[in-house]
Every structure is written in C-alpha cells, then in structure tokens.
Structure 1
Amino acid sequence: MNKFWVVALETYKKQVKSVSFVMMILAPLLFLGISAGSGYVGSQFNKLNEIAVVSDMPEVSAAFTEQNKKEFDIVKDIKTEAEAEKALEDEKIEGYLTIKVSDGTLTGDYVGTKTLGMENSQKILQNLSQIQLGLTSASLSLSQEEVGKLMSPAKFSEKQVEVKDGKITETKDNKPVMMVVGMVVIFMMYFIVLLYSSITAQEVASEKGTRIMEVILSSTTASKHFYGKITGISLVILTQVGVYLVTGLLGYFFVKDMDFVKSFFEEIPASELLKGLLGYNLLYLLFGVLIYTILAAFLGSLVSKAEDSAKAAAPITYLTMIGFIGGVVVGMNNPESIIIKVMSFVPFLSSFGMPIRIANNSVSNMEVLISLGILIISIVVLLRLSAKAYKSTVLIYSDKSMMNVFKDAMKFSK
C-alpha cells in the first residue's frame, strides 16, 4: 500500500508543479477576466457623450429626452435639424436623432460620428415604440386604463403535484434551480474530461516510451502502479475543482452587492443551488469524471509512445462531445426525449443525461439509483479490465493498432 501511495503522490506532485497545470488553472479565470474587461471597455467605447434630439413635434422630442435623460447625455439647447447638423460639423456633439411623425407613424433617424451599437439601438427603439404607443392611444381616444388593459399579457401558472395513496398533493417546484445545477454539472464534466483525457493517457503512456517501467516494476506490481497513476490524476482534478470553488466563493463576496447578482440570487437562492449541487448531481459529476479518467488511462496503456497519447484520447473526445451535445441540445429542448432517457442509463453518457432529467423532475429515485448502480459497476469492471490490460501491455513495445494490442493483452493475461 505504501508503494501505491508513493506512485499516486509522485504523479500528483509532478502534475501540479508543471507549467501546464498552472495554465489550466489560470486560463478560465483569465478568460472570464478578459471577457468582463472587454465588455466594460466595449461599453465605454459605445457610450455616447453628447447627442441632440430634434423633432417636428416638440412634445415628442421632449418625451424622448425625459425618458432617456439617464441613458444619454442629451443637449437640450438644439431644437432644429439644421442646428444639430451645424453642431455636429463643429464637433460639439457626437450625433443627433431626428424624430418625424407622418400619418401617426413615428420614425427615428440617427446621424453620428460613430455607430450606436446594439445596446443603444435597442434602447432608442424601445423608447420610440413607447412614444408611438402613446400617440396611437391618444388618436384613438384611449384612456391610460384602457391602454394598460390592451397591453397586459395573458397569465399562466404551473403547479407541480405528486399522486400518493390516491391523493394529489402539491410539491415545491425548484426546476429553475435544478436546471442551473444540471447545466453546471454538464459543462464541468465536458471541460474536465477534455482537459484531462490527454493528460491521463500521456501520463500512462510516457513511462512505457522511456522503458523506465522495467525499473519501476522491479519494486512494485503493475496493478499498484496503474491504480496509483489513476489516483494521482484524480487528486489533480480535485485540486483544480477545489481551486475554482474557493475562487468562486471569494469572488462572490466581492460581487454579491452588485444589482445583477442580487437579482439572480433573488430568483435562484444560493442555498437551493448548493443543495442541488450536493445531491445526486455531485455523484454523477465525480463518478462521471472517474470513469473517463480510467478509460483514458486504459487507452493510454495501449500505446507505446507518449506522442501517440493524443490518438489514444481521441475516442474519449468523441464520446464526450456526444454526451455534451445530447445533454445541452436535446435535453434542454425536450428533457423527456427517448434519447435523454437512454443516455441516463448508459455509463459514459449518464452523467450528461441524468442531471437534465433530475432538473426536470421527471425521474424517480429508483431510476436514479439504478443508473448510479450501473455507473459504479461499470467503473469497477473498467478499472479491473484496465489494470489487467496494463499488466499485460506495460512491457509490450509494439507499433500495432490499439485494438490489436488490446487483443494481445487479453491473450497474455489468460
């Protein structure tokens, strides 16, 4: 057992000290920072400094100015299009909006030295539409109450119930929370597996390529060495996830007072999010990452050189993409699809399919336990099969295909 932990800890220390691990830790954080920074910089570039608003109906331009006094810096002294054009030529303003009314239809034309951008265009269109509504209601002699009734949407509500002992009882609907958690699990599965599949395959294959295994196997067994490698890589994955969790918690304390963060957690309480993540979804995440890690190590044991590890990890990439696309595209549109139902019981795909069904509350606890049971049994079987194959292939240096190497390993292990 001591030799097993020596291998596991050496693998762990080798990976966490590498430059690639540091880059994997920093890359998502840098991506988020750059995205947020570019969004802020872009909004500053698209921000309008001074514009003029003119109209052939002064009450229309006055209404627009009142509605947008906080959104845009509007110069109120300019009243005509000619004055606005002269101010633009003298670079006193960045642009001007001309609002015309013809046959009860309102038209806005903007002329400026730089583009408005999508956000500003939408704001202007929305406010012009509100003014148009006011003009239309006035021409039809509609009161404010009548306009409100005309614009009021239909009401719709949904209530979730369960039938037990012939009685219908209402259950608490936390579908939005579970759907967010389900998406988090799927995305974490996808990125973790893609990141570590090639690393795991390379870690197992690299020592075969250097012939150092002949020395290592003189002091420990092939099985212990294989299990130690998988344990070490799993500890590296847990370390990275732990770093993100700690970073996320620290980041939350910095942004918790922001309006959009408050509004998000008003809709989806943090306690409900945590509860959803710590249930079945966490088990699917852990077991899902584990089975892919074992598969990557198994495929890595079938190649003889570290440079072939990418080829060994290719099947995992395809399998992960199938699960991810099925979970996100099919699952989000139709959680009750037969594709999602089948995926939720297939070992390598259940971690992508079952969280969606759990979020939709369309699966019983018994089905979840059966799915988890199949996943755990598959992990044990794959682990034993991989160790068996590794024991037979660890000293085989061949240019044969992975399938032929696997067949030879099974023959040698009998």
Structure 2
Amino acid sequence: MNKFWVVALETYKKHVKSVSFIMMIIAPLFFMGIFAGTTYMGQKFNHSKEVAIVSEVEGLGKTFTEQTKEEFDINKKITTEDAAKKALEKEEIDGYIVIHENQEKLEGQYVGVKSLGTDNLQVIQQSLNQIQLGMNADKLSLSQEEVGKILSPAIFTEKQVKVSDGKIEENKDNKIVMMIVGMIVVFMMYFIVMLYSTITAQEVASEKGTRIMEVILSSTTASKHFYGKITGISLVILTQVGVYLLSGIIGFMFVKDMDVVKSFFEEVPAGDLLRGLLGYNLLYLLFGVLIYTILAAFLGSLVNKVEDSAKAVAPLTYLIMIGFIGSFSVGMANPQSIIVKVMSFIPFLSSFGMPVRIANNDVTTMEVMISLGLLVISIVVLLKLSAKAYKSTVLIYSDKSMMNVFKDAMKLTK
C-alpha cells in the first residue's frame, strides 16, 4: 500500500508543481477578472453620445427628448436637419435623429459617423413605440386605463406535481435552480474531462516512452502503479476544482452587495443551489470524471510516444462530444426525448444525460439509482480490466497500431 501512495503522491506533486498546472489555475481566473474589470470600467466611464433631435411634428421632439435624456446628451439648440448636418460636419455632435410621420406612422432615422450600439438602438425603438402607442390611443379616444387593458398580456404558469401513494402532490423543487445546476454539472464534466484526458494519457505514455517503466516495475506491480496514477490525477483534478470553489466563495464575498447579484439570488436561492449541487449531480460529476480518467490512462498505455497520446484519446474525445452535444442540443430542448433517456443509462454518457433529466424532474429515484449503479459497476469493471491490460501494454514497445496492441493485451489477460 505504501508503494501505491508513493506513486499517487509523486504523480500529484509532479503536476501541481508544474508551470502548466499553475497557468491552468490562473488563466481562467485572470480572464474572468479582466472581463469583470472591463465591464465595470466600461459602465463607470461610458459617456452618453451627444445627439440632436429633429422633427417637424409639433411636440414630438420634446417628448422623445424627455424619454431618452438619460441615455443621450441631447443638444436642444439644434432643431432643423440642416443645422444638424452642419454641426455633424464640424464634429460638434456625434449624430442626429430625424423623426417624422408617414401615413399616421412614426419613422425614425439615426445619422452619425459611428454606429449606435445595440442598447441605444433598443432605447430609440422603445421610445418611438411608446409615442406611437400614445398617438394611436388619442386618435381612437382611448384612456390610459383602456390602453393598459389592451396591452395586458395573458398569464401562463407551469406547475409540476408528483404522484405519491396515488395522490397528486406539488413538487416544491425550484426548476430554475435545478436547470442551472444541471448546466453547471454538464459544463464542468466537459471541460474537466477534455482537459485531463490528454494529461492522463500523456502521463502514462511519457514514462512508457522513456523506458523508465522497466525500473519502476522492478519495485512495484503494474496494478499498483496504474491505481496510483489514477489516484494522483484524481487528486490533481480535485485540487483544481477546490481552488475554483474557494476563489468563487472569496469572489462572492466581494460582489454579494451588488444589485445584479442580489437580484439573481432573489430568483435563485443560494441554499437551493447548494443542495442541488451536493445531491445526485455531484455523484454523477465525480463518477463521470473518474471513469473517463481510467479510460484515458488505459488508452495512453497503448502508445509508445507522448506525441501519439493525442491520437490515443481521440475515441474518448468523440465520446465526450457525443455526451455534451446530446445533452444540450437534445436534452435542454426536449428532456423527455428517447435519446436523452437512453443516454442517462449508458455509463460513459449518463453523467451528461442524467443531470439534464434531474433538472427537468423527468426521472424517478429508482431510475437514478439504477443509472448510478450501472455507472459504479462500469467503473469497477473498467478499472479491473484496465489494470490487467496495463500489465501487458505498459511494457510493449511495438510499432503496431493501437488496435493491434489492444488485441495483444486482451489475449495476454485471458
């Protein structure tokens, strides 16, 4: 057992002390910091465009000015299009907005050297829509109350229930929270496995390529070495996830008083979010990462060079892509799809498919337990088979294809 932990801890130390691991930790946090900083600075120092409002309709320019004065710096001295053009030529204004009435319909046009942003265009459109609505209401002699009734939308809500002991009961799970949790789990599965599948394969292939395995296996067994590698890589993954969680908690302490954060947690209670993450979804995340890590280590033992490790994990990459794309393109749109239901019971795909079904309350507890059982059994079987095959493949220095090496390994394990 001591030799097993020696391999595991050496693998762990080797990776966490490497520059690449430190960069993996820092890079996402660095880019998130830049994004948050630029967004904050942009909002703080964003200046309104200076524009002129031109309209031949009496009172229309004044009404439009009142509605948009917070978004634009409006030059009230300019009232004609000719004056606006001259001011634009002299670069005294950024642009001007012409509003006129055509067959009882308002038409607006912005003229400027630089294009308006999407937000400003929406403000102009909304303002014109409100003015148009008021004009139509006046022509039809409608009061504000009557206009409000006409524009009042129909109310539609969704209520999920569950049948317990032949009785219908309200399902109190927060669907928004469960959807967010499902998306978090699927994204984390995708990025962690895509990143560490190659790292795991390279770790095994590099030692095999340098013939150092002959020395290592003189002091320990191939099985212990294999289990140690898997454990070491798993500890590295847990360390990275732990650093991100800790960074998230610290970051939350700084932004918790922001209006955007407060409004988010009013809709999505933090307690519900935490319970969703610590339930079945966490098990699917942990077991899903583990089964892909085991497979990546086995595939890495089928090649002799580090350069070939990318080829070795290609089948695994395709499997990950199938699970990720299937869960989002099909699962989010139609969680009742037979494709998602089948995926939720296939061990390598269940960690992508089942969180989507859990998020939509489209699965029973029994189905979850069966799916988890199949996943755990598959992990144990794959681990045993991979360890046995590893004994054979790890010392095979051959120019044969991966498939032929795999066939030779299977023959030797019988």
- Normalising by the smaller structure, the TM-score range is over 0.9
- Quote the offset at 1:71 in angstroms: 1.4
Q: Give the 3 Å change call, closer, same or farther, for CA 110–43 of structure 1 in structure 2.
A: farther
- Quote the offset at 1:130 in angstroms: 1.2
Deviations 1:172-217 (A, max 9, x none): 1411110000000000000001101110001011111000111111
Distance in 2 between the 1:43 and 1:54 partners?
28
Structure 2, gaps ≥5 residues long: none
Distance in 2 between the 1:98 and 1:251 partners?
46
2:49 aligned counterpart, secondary structure: coil
Matched, 1:83 2:74: no
- Report what 1:60 is aligned to: 60
Structure 1, gaps ≥5 residues long: none
Q: Give the 3 Å change call, closer, same or farther, for CA 56–46 of structure 1 in structure 2.
A: farther
Matched, 1:125 2:109: no
Aligned partner letter, 1:116:
L
Compare 246-255 and 226-235 and name the one that shifted more. 246-255
Aligned partner letter, 1:208:
K
Compare 112-121 and 157-166 and name the one that shifted more. 157-166
- Quote the offset at 1:102 in angstroms: 2.2
Q: Give the 3 Å change call, closer, same or farther, for CA 45–56 of structure 1 in structure 2.
A: farther
1:73 aligned counterpart, secondary structure: strand
- Quote the offset at 1:139 in angstroms: 1.2
Deviations 1:54-89 (A, max 9, x none): 211242211111111211111222222222222222
Matched, 1:174 2:174: yes
Q: Give the 3 Å change call, closer, same or farther, for CA 202–222 of structure 1 in structure 2.
A: same
Distance in 2 between the 1:194 and 1:165 partners?
44
- Quote the offset at 1:40 in angstroms: 5.9
1:52 aligned counterpart, secondary structure: strand
Distance in 2 between the 1:45 and 1:250 partners?
26
Write the mapping of 1:7-406 to structure 2, written as runs, cut at 5 A.
7-37=7-37, 47-406=47-406
2:406 aligned counterpart, secondary structure: helix
Distance in 2 between the 1:387 and 1:15 partners?
22
- Quote the offset at 1:392 in angstroms: 1.2
- Quote the offset at 1:157 in angstroms: 1.7
Distance in 2 between the 1:58 and 1:316 partners?
69
- Quote the offset at 1:37 in angstroms: 5.0
The percent of aligned pairs where both chains have the same amino acid is: 74
- Quote the offset at 1:33 in angstroms: 3.4
Distance in 1 between the 2:132 and 2:44 partners?
30
1:76 aligned counterpart, secondary structure: coil
- Quote the offset at 1:31 in angstroms: 3.2
2:162 aligned counterpart, secondary structure: strand
Aligned partner letter, 1:317:
T
Deviations 1:102-124 (A, max 9, x none): 22111111111211022211221
Please say if residues 96 and 110 of structure 1, whose CA atoms lie closer than 8 Å, have aligned partners that are also in contact: yes
Matched, 1:407 2:407: yes
Aligned partner letter, 1:166:
G
Distance in 1 between the 2:9 and 2:164 partners?
51
Deviations 1:368-414 (A, max 9, x none): 01000000000000000110011111211011112211221122233
Alignment root-mean-square deviation, CA: 1.6
1:78 aligned counterpart, secondary structure: coil
Distance in 2 between the 1:109 and 1:93 partners?
16
- Number of residue pairs aligned between Structure 1 and Structure 2: 414
- Quote the offset at 1:92 in angstroms: 1.8
1:336 aligned counterpart, secondary structure: coil
- Quote the offset at 1:3 in angstroms: 0.8
Deviations 1:13-36 (A, max 9, x none): 111111211221122223333444
Please say if residues 48 and 94 of structure 1, whose CA atoms lie closer than 8 Å, have aligned partners that are also in contact: no
Aligned partner letter, 1:287:
F
Deviations 1:296-321 (A, max 9, x none): 00101111111111111111111000
